[in-house]
Amino acid sequence: MSCSASRSPILCEDWRVKISKILVFAFSVFSIAIAGDLPSDQPQPPKRLMAITVDDLPVAQPSWHSDRQMDRITTDLLTTFGEHRVPAVGFVNEGKLEVEGEIDTLRIRILKRWLDAGLELGNHGYAHLDLHREPPEEWKADVVRGEPETRKLIEASGGRLRFFRHPFLHTGMSVELQTEMSEFLRSRGYTVAPVTIDNSEWIYGRAYSYAYNANDEELKQRIGRDYLRYMLDVVSFYEGQSEAIVGRAIPHVLLVHAYALNADWLGEFMTEIERRGYRWISLDEALEDPVYERPIDGWTGQGGISWLHRWAITEGIDRSVFKGEPEPPEWVAGIR
């Protein structure tokens, strides 16, 4: 309706007000619908959350790299975490801080850089001892031996040493041993860092270090691209495992290592994961989910397996649910 000169100004003003109100109402309805506040018959996507943990600090393995390379690997990893705003936790093997039996200042500085970047450090054992091979008392002593330098750095930055990651994800081959070690770790103030997205990334890490040191750019690209494919397949697999075992999406905990591989490729992986709708969270936030209160003591085998699979075994779920886990190809495994 137009307001010509022949119409009453009051009537024109009334119509302007009415039209304005209609437009405001329509825009409000549209905005609410976009925000997802209106009821919908469409299924809502699962809430996707992931924490990232990094094993074998300062760098895995120091024997594979020069000091300059270790510094560069650390720079690139920390830059990636900063760009993607990932509150990662790095797990330290204090035995890797030593050169010829003495603490190396460069490697100490590398750990301090993690803290300066706002990230957290945890204990991964002094010498990465295997609980399934070592006497329990020696394993406990290795845990304690893995604390002093890390604790000193953390406390100097105003924090405290809180997390422990089992080497090889080996938690004990009997319920009694698992209970004993859980109580021991708790007595020292540790929370165990679980893993729900387990993987064989270490196979790619070993192969990539060969190409990295050989300056073989073509091989680095080939390994890196396949690594990206593999890791995305792994995430898809464990998303399915979460639905099959828990019945819902859970906040996942991913395990990777402080490799040259991840210094170069973890950023691309993160970008792809973000495109899937994931938000990065801290390990603390992940562990707030009640799923992590489920017992894992049904698994007493040799392997270090995902917490999802430990829950399934403990609860008596048919192990056929585990079928289909992605594996690295033989051509990658053969590079060493």
Give strand pairing partners of 51.
253
Strand, helix or coil for residue 13: helix
And the tokens for 238?
């464990």
pLDDT of res. 273: 98
Note the pLDDT tens digit of each residue in 272-310: 999 999 999 999 999 999 999 999 999 999 999 999 999
Q: What pLDDT digit, counting tens, does each position of 133-155 carry?
A: 999 999 999 999 999 999 999 99
Residues 153 and 288 in one domain: yes
Does residue 30 share a domain with residue 81? no
In a domain, 33, yes or no: yes
**% pLDDT > 70, the chain:** 86
Select from 315, 61, 50 the least CA-distant residue to 212.
61
| Same domain? 267 vs 180 | yes
- For residue 258, is it within any domain? yes
Rounded to whole angstroms, the Cα distance separating 60 from 69 reads 11
pLDDT at 41: 53
Domain shared by 138 and 18, yes or no: no
Exposure b/e, 264-302, CB count within 10 A at least 16 = b: bbbbbbbeebeeeebebbbbeebbeeebbeeebbbbbee
Q: Are residues 88 and 11 in the same domain?
A: no
Decide if 43 is inside a domain: no
For residues 12 and 114, membership in a common domain is answered with no
Establish if 96 belongs to a structural domain: yes
In this predicted structure, what is the pLDDT of residue 9?
39
Backbone angles phi, psi at 320, to 5 degrees: -60, -20
Q: Are residues 24 and 171 in the same domain?
A: no
| 79 lies in some domain | yes
pLDDT tens digits, residue range 45-86? 558 999 999 999 999 999 999 999 999 999 999 999 999 999
Is-cis flag, bond preceding 302, omega within 30?
no
- pLDDT higher than threshold 80 for residue 189: yes
Q: Distance between CA 131 and CA 168 in Å, rounded? A: 9
Q: Say how many C-beta atoms besides its own lie within 10 A of residue 140's C-beta.
A: 18
Indicate if 141 and 199 belong to the same structural domain: yes
Contact (CB, 8 A) for 90 and 130? no
Please tell me the distance from the alpha carbon of residue 303 to that of residue 314, in angstroms, as a whole number.
Answer: 15
pLDDT (mean) for 255-274: 98
Mean pLDDT of 149-163: 98
Q: Confirm whether 275 is domain-assigned.
A: yes
Residue 84 lies in a domain: yes
pLDDT at 74: 98
Query: Cα–Cα distance between 131 and 247 in angstroms, integer?
Result: 32
pLDDT at 336: 86
Q: Are residues 123 and 196 in the same domain?
A: yes
**Looking at the predicted structure, is the pLDDT value of residue 22 above 50?**
no
Give mean pLDDT, residues 11-17: 42
Q: Provide the domain limits for residue 15.
A: 1-38
DSSP secondary structure of 298-328: T--SSS---HHHHHHHHTT--GGGGTT----
Structural domains counted in the chain: 2
Q: Give yes or no for a contact between 335 and 200, defined as CB atoms under 8 angstroms apart.
A: no
What band does 28 get if pLDDT is binned at 50, 70 and 90?
very low
pLDDT at 42: 53
322 and 187 fall within a common domain: yes
pLDDT at 47: 81
Q: Residue 191 sits in a domain of what CATH number?
A: 3.20.20.370
Question: Do 3 and 100 fall within a single domain?
Answer: no
Cα→Cα distances 333→136, 260, 303, Å = 32, 17, 19
Residue 291 lies in a domain: yes
Q: Please say if the pLDDT value at position 216 is more than 80.
A: yes
On whether both 26 and 85 belong to a single domain, the answer is no
What is the per-residue pLDDT across 100-118, written as a single tens digit (0 to 9) for each?
999 999 999 999 999 999 9
Torsion of CA 132, 133, 137, 143, to 10 degrees: -70
Q: Are 254 and 52 contacting, i.e. CB atoms less than 8 angstroms apart?
A: yes
